[in-house]
Amino acid sequence: MEEAANMKLKHSILGLLLLFTLIPLGIFGIFSIYETNRKIDELTEQNVRAISENQVMNIKNFTQDRNDFQKKWDAIDHEKNPSGYVRYRYHRQDYITYYSDVENTGWGIRVTENLSSQKQTGRTYGVLIALGLSALIIGVCCTQYFMTKKIFAPITHILQVFAQIRESEDYSLRVHIQEKHETGELAAGINELLDYVEQADRKEKERQQKLLQMAENDPLTGIKNKKAIEKEMLSMVQRAVESHEQITFGFVDIDDFRDYNTNYGHQEGDAVIQFVAQTLKENIHGAVGRIGGDEFAFCYAGELEPERIRHNADKILEILRTQHVNEQTGEVLPVPCSIGIVMSQGDTLDYTQLIRKADLAMYQAKENGKNTFVLNVD
């Protein structure tokens, strides 16, 4: 059905082009034949009249009708000008008569042409040419309109879509052309290609995201690894120096972690690490990472009262002590931790010093009996 419609459209276009071409040519040909026949009739009549006039004027010695021609004719010195032409008006028509006297005979040859008739013929041809040019211009305009609407406009739309995709890298954009002919088929093909490109782009982004997660996330816990959390902490210090923002660093260490592996096995040890990581992630509104086997770090920026930080640290320790269940026994297994926290603010923040102070605070918590926290405020 679509192929038949395309063929019908093509035939219609060719028919229109032929129509706009043949109409002016046909009109021009008809008028040309008409004018040619009329001109032949006029020339024949004029030649007969001229011959008759020549004969009569030769017989009567050019004495009849002392009109404009006769006056000009009589004014010619035929001895000095045995050949030439005379222009005159006769019956409101412009004529020209070419003459040539035959020596020693008293005879002469004259040929007369109607200039007014030639001018009228010229005007007629001018009208015909104007009509033909007008028809040609109309045909060209119609063809241009068709080309613009059916071909150039769709191609321009396609180029605009490509430009938008190049600028935005949004491969979900599509070409919207509803035509059934070649440009519509081209648009459908481009959209199919864009579907493929969009799927490939989405898969590539997912792959890159997975690679990024593998590069930045700890495989056991899913939180940031040591390299990623240290990068985040350093970046946070740099931003805080510029904005004079308060920042908080903290270290967390699981107390007596070896006992979990010894008493319950490495599988339970991994479960404990995952439980601690998940608890920190859910209760600290900042970045959390694992920096060692049983050690974690966290950081966040923003104005917080020390009392609020103490309250949050107590909450975390309470969850760790009371909410971990041993998968083997089904019993609640406390996970005591030591937490060291440091708060600082100003344009003289030093990343290395903050890390050292948070680490010292954590070890001070262990010296204070473990399962507690120490907060230092600069």
Q: In angstroms, how far is the first alpha carbon of the chain from the final one?
A: 82
DSSP H or E run through 288: strand 287-290
Contact 171, 194 (CB under 8 A): yes
Q: Quote the CA–CA distance of 139 and 155 in Å, as a whole number.
A: 23
Q: 66 falls in which pLDDT band (50, 70, 90)? A: very low
Coil vs helix vs strand at 371: coil
Q: Quote the CA–CA distance of 79 and 349 in Å, as a whole number.
A: 127
CATH assignment at residue 368: 3.30.70.270
Q: Quote the CA–CA distance of 214 and 272 in Å, as a whole number.
A: 22
Which position has the higher pLDDT, 161 or 16?
Answer: 161
Residue 209 in domain: no
Note whether 8 and 128 are same-domain residues: yes
Beta carbons within 10 angstroms of residue 322's beta carbon: 10
Residue 213 in domain: no
> Could you say which of 139, 156, 189 is where a domain stops?
139
- The interaxial angle of helices 351-367 and 226-243, nearest 10 deg, is 120
Note whether 192 and 307 are same-domain residues: no
Q: Which domain holds residue 184?
A: 169-203
CA–centroid distance for 222 within its chain: 41
Q: Quote the CA–CA distance of 315 and 147 in Å, as a whole number.
A: 74
215-230 residue pLDDT tens: 789 999 999 999 999 9
Note whether 233 and 185 are same-domain residues: no
User: Where do runs of H (alpha helix) occur along the chain?
Assistant: 2-59, 68-74, 115-147, 153-168, 182-216, 226-243, 257-264, 266-283, 306-322, 351-367
Mean pLDDT over 309-327 rounds to 93
Contact 358, 339 (CB under 8 A): no
114-154 residue pLDDT tens: 766 666 665 666 666 667 766 777 766 666 666 666 666 77
Note whether 57 and 126 are same-domain residues: yes
Q: Quote the CA–CA distance of 335 and 371 in Å, as a whole number.
A: 9
Contact 308, 223 (CB under 8 A): no
Number of folded domains in the chain?
Answer: 3
CA–centroid distance for 339 within its chain: 56
Residue 289 in domain: yes
